[in-house]
A and B are shown apart, each in its own frame.
With several copies, the nearest count.
Chain A
Amino acid sequence: MKKLINDPNDVVAEALLGMEAAHASLSVDHANKIIHRAQPPRPGKVGIISGGGSGHEPLHGGFVGLGMLDAACAGEVFTSPVPQQMIAAIKLVDGGAGVLQVVKNYTGDVMNFDMAAEMTASQAGTRVVSVVTDDDVAVQDSTWTAGRRGVGVTVLLEKIAGAAAEQDRTLDQVADVARAVNANGRSMGVALTSCTVPAAGKPTFDLGEADMELGVGIHGEPGRRRVPLAPAKDIAAMLLEPILADLPFTSGDGVIAFVNGLGGTPLLELYIMFNEVNTLLGQHGIRVARSLVGSYITALDMAGTSITLLKVDDDLLSLWDAPVNTPALRWGT
């Protein structure tokens, strides 16, 4: 295992020390592993927290700041945080208008955030609403299963809901915006290599030199199927077709197109992918209203990419354009 780390057990704690030292706008509650804005909550603003297993950086801690999250709870690598963390985070960010929890749809995340909401409601009386993202079309959806995984849409949702909260919309309104984002967003990813969980010390899966894992999860969960390596053009089509078919997106729609790197893939390749995505969308008559290209929701050191499309109306678009000032996304401020 080749990683810039010390003891695998200290990975999360030490990264939080680094984040705190690097960003004056952030504070860290090290006991509870919470990254939060250095400024106290603005009264009347809905607080937004998120969190999840670590290993997806900059998600979520890198999205804490004006116009996005108020706090992020960092779990162990690929393991959701525990209820105590969310309870403490809710307390930190509560400005009297209630708190929205952004939860990616994994059994562990959902249960731990739910327990936190239950305990907070019974103890502190703060109103807590959870919105769950489940945008990964690689997973067969069904009410009989855990449903789909939450992936790339989470980034867009945190930005857009964050902007809505900054406008002093109510908790229900912010939650509605968040649900609209999840309802209109779809994603799918592909891995060229496995990731290596530090505590495991070896790659999660073996992938032949000529193979890739189509529909991989951001924790290295196996995807739809293993297929031969393909040119960027074909990969873009393999990822886009299921996305486009699922919502479905139709000609004339405006979208935010998000090409994401999974941690081990350089920007050069992401721009090549974006070029293919942009071309394919043009062929489908879909208008790229905004775009985002970079590594924003990663799977440790995995080489690969995911594509997320979010169908936008004017409200979502103006919320996307609103000022944001976080370590990983920043504009308009």
Chain B
Amino acid sequence: MSENLSAAAMAQWVRQFATLIAQNREHLTELDAAIGDADHGANMDRGMSAVVKALDDAQPTAAGAVLTGVGMTLISTVGGASGPLFGTLFLRMGTALGDAGEVPSQELGTALRAGLEGVVARGKAELGDKTMVDALAPAADALDAALAEGLPLADAVARASEAAATGRDCTTPMLARKGRASYLGERSVGHQDPGATSVALLLEAASELGR
């Protein structure tokens, strides 16, 4: 990932995310089977396959437009909880990046935070509710901090990815209070949240491109 965020870089990130989702499809479904309804892998994979197909057909020339396009596709192809939530995440990130063809790399921090806020506005989850927010919020915090420290984007993204992974792991002991897993009450404890796992893959995709 270069120091300026181009449409091409954003598309590369999204494609890498789609690849990781496809590779982890069964894993995500198994996580969802334990505390949900066994469809998270299929949902994300259906959505990200549609995203890749749309990018193959026509790729926007502005960095922000790539991400809003992803958001629109996710909202219109995924359904369930992850459709609106990941859709909103990308929509807000794209909107935050604005209309410019390329934007300075610091903007990624702003974008991720805007995306997080969108997810929270839509899903009303707080930290500790055992949702994707538990991976997304630490990632946004880590990215902001790293960029504020003046780290290069690749390193900042790597830190965000580590934070997301830790956040994901921390969902395991949590009692779910939002989403389908919340129906389980105490029985949700001891299982890793699928949505947080997908968020960790999103940041991992970014960090892989930075390497």
Contacts and interface: CB of A to CB of B under 8 A. Distances in A.
Check if A and B associate. yes
Interface string A146-169: 101100000000000000000000
Contacts of A140: 185
Contact of A111 (B34, B35, B81, B176): B81
B33 A107 contact: no
Interface in B118-134: 122-123
A81 B80 CA distance: 7
B76 interface: yes
Nearest to B78: A82
A214 B11 CA distance: 46
B184 A200 contact: no
A145 B37 contact: no
A112 interface: yes
B53 interface: no
Interface residues of B, number: 35
Interface stretch (B39-47, B98-106, B156-164, B201-209): B39-47
State the majority secondary structure of interface residues on B: helix
Contacts of A142: 177
A112 B83 CA distance: 8
B79 A146 contact: no
A79 B40 CA distance: 9
B94 interface: no
A37 interface: no
Contacts of B84: 83, 108, 111-112, 115
Interface in A194-223: 197, 199-200, 204-205, 217, 219-222
Interface in A100-155: 106-108, 111-112, 115, 136, 138-140, 142, 144-146, 148-149
A220 B36 CA distance: 8
A77 B78 CA distance: 11
A83 B75 contact: yes
Given A146-B179, A217-B183, A222-B184, A200 B81 contact: no
Nearest to B72: A84
A191 B39 CA distance: 19
Given A106-B180, A220-B38, A200 B33 contact: yes
A219 B178 contact: no
A98 interface: no
A219 B39 CA distance: 10
B129 to A, nearest CB: 9
Interface of B: 29, 33-39, 41-43, 46, 75-85, 122-123, 176-180, 182-185, 187
Interface of A: 53, 75-84, 106-108, 111-112, 115, 136, 138-140, 142, 144-146, 148-149, 197, 199-200, 204-205, 217, 219-222
13 contacts: A77-B39, A79-B42, A82-B76, A83-B75, A107-B178, A108-B83, A108-B180, A111-B81, A146-B177, A146-B179, A146-B182, A217-B180, A221-B184
